A and B are shown apart, each in its own frame.
Chain A
Amino acid sequence: MNPRILAVTTGRILRQLRHDRRTVALLLVVPALLLTLVYYMYADQPAPPGGVSTFDRIALVMLGFFPFVIMFLVTSIAMLRERTNGTLERLLTTPLAKADLLFGYGIAFGLAGAVQATVASALAYWVFDLNTAGGSELVIMIAALNAVLAVALGLFCSAFARTEFQAVQFMPVVVAPQLLLCGLFVPRDEMAGWLQAVSDVLPLSYAVEALQEVGAHAEPTGTMWRDLTVVVGATVLALVLAAATLRRRSG
């Protein structure tokens, strides 16, 4: 890996994103619209006695979920384009190392995810009065880590798609089970044993638990740090698998 090449590659990916104004607008506006929707859906629902309001519970998880699902999609398609346009093959004939490319995507879209989470959090906290015991900066940090995890998964999954249609199909495959089993709909410890076992190997479960820890505790907890370690570990694993799909030689 070479810091200069990593830096120019990150810059190149961000520049591509910047040229696509509509995508940038969608990245920032869609989470805001969906948060607004959820706010009004639950506006008249009474909070459970002594518990957190439904909006707080859902919005907190959504703040981590947006960057996850969106960066997964954006990365799968961007990487698929690199593969199908021949730019990947060309890059691999230059001094660029595989890690420069993978980390370049991780940093660029991780930053994009962090910006997205910051804008969505600002709205959630200031306009919709989201309440969390812990600080909003922890929420944003977890959301940014989620974005990087999603980038790593997207880089890997892009190897199994030949077309953009196929790449989009990976979203329900990779994202939907993680959302359903992450503990938002049914608390994880109330699920059937086998579902819990599946949930235990899905990285989003840990990200969501970390967010819930921030929601419930003023100070970062050990559980939160453990969860984030798992998220980072899953990211590294996905990056290693993604690197294995980047072959300099092919038939």
Chain B
Amino acid sequence: MEDAIVLRDLVVDRGRRRVLHGISCAVPRGVVAGLLGPSGSGKTTLMRAVVGVQTVGGGTVTVLGRPAGSTDLRRRVGYLTQAPSVYADLTVRENARYFAALHGRSRADADRAVADVGLSAAAGQLVGTLSGGQRSRASLACALVGEPELIVLDEPTVGQDPVLRADLWGRFHELAASGVTLLVSSHVMDEASRCDRLLLIREGRLIADDTPDAVRAAAGVSDLDEAFLRLIRASEAGSAVAAGAVGTGGEAS
């Protein structure tokens, strides 16, 4: 089956600065792909390009076989923005039901999505009165509720307690097992080991695109954090090493 996401030489400029420098990669269907990199490395920008809200300077973004941003993709792709984007003056349940209705889903679907993110007890509470972590889970429920084929989640687990974080990752893998593709960003490396595939991005360039095991093997260490450090050093040491180690696509465009 065709890949869920294919980027070819993706270039993005934001505010007169080049933020993504020709990224090429492919994410197969039915996996949890982690997009990891430090703050400011371009994760959000890349995700915006995938959901089709980012003006692109060059290259192509193909999502579920169609150009990113195509009309029919809007019912097939779910997007969680980094800052929670839910209505503060509605309850959790009302938010979920609204986004469910936009996707033609029922109230029961909405209530299930609220339960899936562990917010059943707060379902009747106004989002404006929730804690930061709860608010981002309310936003997550609204991204999951449409039962999309591709789910793009920008730092969904930031600020969540460890038990909930484990639950959420469990839920992501259940979804992937049912054929859904997830692209999940994080700036915390310890989440990398939970992903089926890793995209490591730094300063707008991809420095690794592989499974966690292959990344460990390439770097020759078992600790992913350490492995990333070595890959970064290697990519800085010379473009030849970087081109050999990973799929940055060679010549910059």
Contact = CB atoms under 8 A, between A and B. Distances in A.
A235 B118 CA distance: 44
Interface stretch (A27-35, A89-97, A212-220): A89-97
Contact of A93 (B52, B83, B90, B94): B52
Contacts of A12: 87, 90, 94, 98
A191 B132 CA distance: 57
A251 B79 contact: no
Given A16-B90, A249-B69, A251-B15, A95 B103 contact: yes
Interface in B81-97: 81, 83-90, 94
B34 interface: no
Contact of A5 (B69, B77, B102): B102
B26 interface: no
A85 B85 contact: yes
Contacts of A9: 98, 102
Given A90-B79, A248-B52, A15 B90 contact: yes
B146 interface: yes
A94 B99 contact: yes
Contact of B54 (A15, A16, A249): A249
A52 B142 CA distance: 57
B54 A250 contact: yes
Contact of A92 (B53, B88, B89, B90): B53
B234 to A, nearest CB: 32
B29 to A, nearest CB: 20
B126 interface: yes
B89 A16 contact: yes
A86 B81 contact: yes
A9 B99 CA distance: 10
B66 interface: no
Given A85-B85, A249-B69, A93 B77 contact: yes
A182 to B, nearest CB: 33
B55 interface: yes
Contacts of A86: 81, 83-85
A12 B142 CA distance: 14
A90 B85 contact: yes
Contacts of A90: 79, 81, 85, 142
Contacts of A5: 101-102
A4 B54 CA distance: 28
A243 B98 CA distance: 22
Interface string A1-25: 0001100110010011001100000
A180 B188 CA distance: 59
A87 interface: yes
A94 B146 contact: yes
Interface string B221-241: 000000000000000000000
A89 B94 CA distance: 19
Contact of B86 (A8, A15, A87, A249): A87
Given A15-B94, A89-B53, A251 B85 contact: no
Nearest to A92: B53
B165 interface: no
B75 A248 contact: no
B102 A19 contact: no
A48 B54 CA distance: 63
Contacts of A87: 85-87
A87 B15 CA distance: 22
Contact of B81 (A89, A249, A251): A89
5 contacts: A4-B101, A85-B85, A95-B75, A249-B69, A250-B54
Given A8-B101, A86-B84, A249-B55, 6 more contacts: A8-B102, A12-B87, A16-B90, A85-B88, A95-B102, A250-B53
